[in-house]
Amino acid sequence: MDEISYEDLVSLIETKNIQLFDVRTPEEIAKYGKIAHSVNVPVHEIRDALQMSAEAFQDKYSVAKPTMDSQHLIFHCQSGKRSRMALDAALQLGYSNARHYRQGFLGWLQRQENTNNEMK
């Protein structure tokens, strides 16, 4: 079970009980936006980032480094491919509970638009 559903992701974001890493480039985030409470760690940095000391990780990304047993370590990208790569790297490093949001930011936007349309 290495994927997280939209509903579970929303629930974790609402409770702020999540470490959500956006593995897209900073340019993509500037152009398209981001999911609330996500932290940008580009996919090409993930392996090195997860091997940093807790202090170095905090200094570079301004958030606490996930622990090996973090229950809500989630990766996402634009459409799912890079988040899968980030997840694979995390799993190889021993982050056994890590997951990814396969639908990515595009899927997130689509679900958000559908939710907003239903509320009108």
Classify residue 46: in a domain, yes or no. Answer: yes
Q: What is the number of structural domains in the chain?
A: 1
Classify residue 40: in a domain, yes or no. Answer: yes
Classify residue 85: in a domain, yes or no. Answer: yes
Catalytic-residue membership of 77: yes
Q: Are 70 and 19 in contact (CB under 8 A)?
A: yes
Number of neighbouring beta carbons within 10 Å of residue 65: 18
Question: Which residue out of 35, 50, 77, 89 is catalytically annotated?
Answer: 77
Rounded to whole angstroms, the Cα distance separating 91 from 80 reads: 16
Q: Is the pLDDT of residue 120 over 60?
A: no
Classify residue 53: in a domain, yes or no. Answer: yes
Classify residue 1: in a domain, yes or no. Answer: no
* pLDDT tens profile 68-106: 999 999 999 999 999 999 999 999 999 999 999 999 999
Give every CB contact of residue 107 below 8 A, 6+ residues apart in sequence.
Answer: 6, 79, 80, 101
Q: Is the pLDDT of residue 26 over 60?
A: yes
Question: Which domain covers residue 83, as residue numbers?
Answer: 6-119
User: What pLDDT is stored for residue 44 in this prediction?
Assistant: 97
Which CATH number does the domain housing residue 79 bear?
A: 3.40.250.10
Q: Is the pLDDT of residue 1 over 50?
A: yes
Q: Listing from the earlier edge strand, what are the strands of the sheet with 73-76?
A: 38-40, 19-22, 73-76, 99-100
